[in-house]
Chain A
C-alpha cells in the first residue's frame, strides 16, 4: 500500500499543553480521507503541522515517501501538498484571473520573472483560464475578488490550491459559511476531482463527510481516537459517545 501522506507519532506542545499527541496518520494515495473531531480536538494544529506552518515538537511528516517535517510551507507546496483555508485567505484587490495566474506562475517557477508582462507568459495564463472554466469561474474572471459572493470566493480558495497541481489536497472545511445549495455544488466540484489527487478533508458537517469520504479518522483531545471506513465509524460506540457528549454540552 502506498501512502500519499503519513505522520509518525507527531507531537506538538505549546508550553505544557499537548495540542497534538502521538498522531500517526496514514492517508492512502487517491483516498478521500476525512478528519473529524469535536471543537478543540486539534484539527487545525494538525493541519498546521502537515503544511509546515508549525514545526512539530517530535515526530515526522512524510509526503509521498519523503520526510518533509522541516521543510517550509512553500517547499511542501512545490512537492505537491496544497491546502485551502477554513476562512478565506484571498487577494482582495486582485481579479480572480490574476489570483489564479499568480498561483500557476509559482508552480511553473515563473514567480520571479521580472521583465515580460504577466500576460505574455501564455502557458500560465492558459492553464489558469482552464482552471477557472473547470470551477465555473470564467464569467467572473475579471471581477475583483472582494466584490464576489462568499460562495464564489470559496471556489477561488479551491482554484488557488488546485493551481499547485497537488498530489495531496487538504481541504479545511471547504463548505464553511456557504449556503446549503451552493455547498452541494461545491462538493460536486470537489467530488469531480481526479483520483490522482489525494484528499484529506476536515469537516464538521457529518452528512457531507459520510457521503464523501471512503476513510475517516476521528481526532479527540489531540490524539487519534479511531480510524476506519464510514460504516465502521458510524457504528463505533466511542465515536458516538464523543459526539453525543458534545451534543449534550451544546
Chain B
C-alpha cells in the first residue's frame, strides 16, 4: 500500500456536521413551539445539559472522576447572583465573570485533584464542594444562607430583550448559550488537544513517553470544565433570579454523574441526551408518584449500568453498527 492511497477523511470528519446533529439542534426550536407551557422545564434542561457537558469534558474525555463538580456550578451561580444583586445586572457580563471565577477555582483545585488517583480525586472533589456548601451556608450576610440569595435584577439581554414572566427570553438565552458552548466543546474534542485527552484516559502511563505533559493537559481541561460549570450555574441564577443554597449540594453532583452515565460519557451528545431523558423521566415520574419517584430512577440506573454500560449513546452506536453490518450482509 502506498501512502498516496490512504484516505485521510476520518481525521477531518468532525469538521462537517452530521445530518443527525442538525436534526438534534432543531429540537429546541420544535420544543419552543410545541411545549409553550413547559418553557421553564425546557430551560432547566438546557442549563443542566450545559452543566453535564462540563462534567463530560473532565470525566468523559479526560477521565477525571468528580463527586463535587457542583462546586463550580455554585460558584458561578453565586458570582452571577451577587453581580445582579449589586447593580451589575447585564446577563452576558454576569456569565463572563461567573465563568472566570469558576475557572480560577477550577485551576486552583486542579492542583489538589491531580495529585491523587481515582479514589483520592473522588474524596478531594467531594471535600471541596462540602466546604463551599458550608461556607455559603455560614456567610448569610453575603449569600443569604439557607434562605437563598435574593434581590437579583437582571437587565434585558443585549439591552433589548427583557426577561419576561413566560420565560421566553430565558429559554432562548439558555439554549443559545448551550449551543455556543457546545460548538466550542465540539471543536475542542476533535482537536489535537482533545485527542491527547483521549490518549491520557486510555493510557496515562504512555503519554509522558510520547512527550506529553499530562498534568498540564489535565489542569487545562479541569479548569475549562469548571468554567463551563460556572456558566451553567450563572444561567440558572439569572433565569430564576434566585440562588438557592442547593446549587452547592452533594445531591446535585451525584445526580449529574448519574445523568452523564445515563447518556453515555465520553460523547458530547451523551451529556445532552442523558439530560433530556433524565429530566423528562424525572418530570413524569415525580408527577405520577411524587413520594417514591426515586425508586424508578434507581431502577433505571441499575439497569443501565448492568445492560448498557455506555449509556443511551452507546446503545445508539451499537444499533448503528448493527444496521451497517446488516447492510453489508
Contact = CB atoms under 8 A, between A and B. Distances in A.
Interface of A: 51-53, 72-74, 77-78, 82-83, 85, 89-95, 97-99, 101-103, 105-107, 110-121, 124-125, 129-130, 132-133, 138-139, 141-142, 160-161, 163-164
B307 to A, nearest CB: 21
User: Among A72, A95, A114, A164, which residue has the most Cβ atoms of chain B within 10 A?
Assistant: A114
Bin chain B's interface residue count. 35 or more
Interface string B159-201: 0000000000000000000000000000110111111101100
Given A89-B205, A111-B196, A74 B191 contact: no
Given A77-B211, A118-B194, 4 more contacts: A74-B207, A91-B199, A119-B9, A133-B1
B206 interface: yes
Closest 6 CB pairs of A and B: A119-B11, A119-B12, A73-B208, A77-B211, A114-B193, A106-B211
B20 interface: no
Given A111-B196, A113-B191, A160 B206 contact: yes
A80 to B, nearest CB: 10
Interface of B: 1-3, 5-15, 187-188, 190-196, 198-199, 202-203, 205-214, 216-217, 220
B203 A114 contact: no
B11 A102 contact: no
9 contacts: A74-B208, A91-B198, A97-B11, A105-B195, A105-B196, A115-B188, A129-B8, A160-B206, A160-B209
Contacts of B9: 119
Given A94-B199, A141-B6, A101 B209 contact: no
Contact of B194 (A77, A114, A121, A129): A114
A118 B206 contact: no
A98 B212 contact: no
Contacts of A101: 11, 195
Contact of B206 (A52, A89, A117, A132): A89
A79 to B, nearest CB: 9
Contacts of B202: 91-94
B210 A77 contact: yes
Given A90-B203, A106-B196, A118 B11 contact: yes
Contacts of B13: 119
A79 B15 CA distance: 34
A102 B210 contact: yes
A89 B209 contact: yes
A103 B212 CA distance: 8
A134 B7 CA distance: 17
B33 to A, nearest CB: 34
B193 A111 contact: yes
